[in-house]
Amino acid sequence: MKKNFTLFIISDLISQFSAGIVLAALNWYIIDVYQSNSLVATIANINVIAGLIISLVAVGLLKRMNSKRIALMSYFFRVIFIALPLILLKLGIDDRLAIYLLALSNGIGWNLYFPASKDILNSFTVEENTLQLNSFAEISMQVGLFSAALISGILYRYIGFENILLLGTSLFFVALVIFALVKYQESDKVEAIEQQGVFAYLIGHKWLLILGLVL
């Protein structure tokens, strides 16, 4: 179990770092090229709205599909939706389309990955180590994101936006390969959600719905 948990954490750390440098560099790129705060806000809105919609879809997928398969799908999605904008930028086709695709990459990809990864993390935990393992996973996520925020501006200045996208694509692919090696025991799905349906469950647990909206 320890080996598989270690692989899971390494993959998570790499993917969070990659997502962080791409998202932060995207904002730098918009400010640098377009000098538009409103476009930064639009990208943030696309990110959030896509995330909200895909979160509802993710709940349904988790009921029907293996969590690892969903997490791998999120990796493939993010690799493709970072590689496509990179191609568009290299060919000089449509900068704005590339920007919107990158916003979707994070909004959809991360919100598919997050619940699936938490479900997998749950398979590694028992009552004695739940707090420890969850804390460790949370720390790895925050370290990945904050270190990316720290370094993204430096990378943007010295290697440029397109090379950051190339780096991000490569890191996501490495994280995908490592994640594919993770083996775990699939946990039982939540029967309450299965019986009631997603929307009925949320209406019956309003505190959970409010918490999600606040977040």
pLDDT digits (tens, 9 = 90+) for 35-54: 888 999 999 898 888 888 88
Band of pLDDT at residue 197, cut at 50, 70 and 90: low
Both tokens of residue 67? 């969590």
pLDDT given at position 199: 65
Average pLDDT over every residue of 175-195? 73
Please state the pTM of the whole predicted model. Answer: 0.82
Query: Which one of 97-106, 117-126, 200-209 scores highest in mean pLDDT?
Result: 97-106
23 in helix, strand or coil?
helix
User: What region does 197 belong to: left with phi over 0, alpha with psi -120 to 50, or beta?
Assistant: left
pLDDT given at position 88: 92
Average pLDDT over every residue of 133-161? 84
